[in-house]
């Protein structure tokens, strides 16, 4: 069953696909290392100028961090340390990381994604 966050993230990416020179593919509960159980809530593969260059891809991991105010799973010492390990391994694998609370994803995700795409298009010389 799709959650409201699933629908929101897919809608944002579909809208950007239609309006820009990128193609975004979204994966939920993405396992990014074969030898570890780590997963990201969402992973976006952003292909710049897809009709010209399938190799220019950026990887964004999106984490929805719940329990910030109630000593949830992400605040406990053991889990906090595991999350740090996961984020560092993802960075070594070439992922960019965006972290949100369940409330802030609706306010921030679209702008953050647009800014990321604009910055990377400008830096790649594609525009």
pTM of the model: 0.79
Is 56 or 78 the better-scoring residue by pLDDT?
A: 78
How many domains are contained in the chain?
Answer: 1
- Domain range for 45: 4-124
Give yes or no for a contact between 95 and 59, defined as CB atoms under 8 angstroms apart. Answer: yes
Q: Is the pLDDT of residue 115 over 80?
A: yes
- Assign 6 a pLDDT band (cuts: 50, 70, 90): confident
Please tell me the distance from the alpha carbon of residue 84 to that of residue 102, in angstroms, as a whole number. 19
Q: pLDDT digits over 50-68, tens only?
A: 555 556 788 999 999 876 6
| Predicted pLDDT of residue 98 | 93
Q: Is the pLDDT of residue 75 over 90?
A: no
Place of tokens 């950007």: 16
């Amino acid at each position: 069953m799709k959650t409201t966050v699933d629908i929101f993230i897919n809608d944002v990416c579909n809208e950007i696909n239609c309006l820009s020179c990128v193609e975004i593919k979204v994966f939920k509960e993405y396992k990014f290392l074969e030898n570890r159980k780590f997963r990201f809530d969402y992973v976006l593969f952003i292909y710049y100028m897809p009709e010209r260059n399938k190799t220019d891809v950026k990887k964004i991991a999106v984490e929805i961090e719940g329990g910030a105010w109630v000593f949830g799973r992400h605040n406990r010492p053991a889990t906090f340390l595991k999350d740090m390990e996961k984020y560092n391994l993802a960075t070594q694998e070439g992922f960019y990381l965006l972290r949100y609370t369940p409330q802030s994803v609706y306010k921030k995700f679209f702008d953050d994604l647009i800014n990321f795409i604009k910055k990377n298009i400008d830096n790649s010389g594609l525009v």
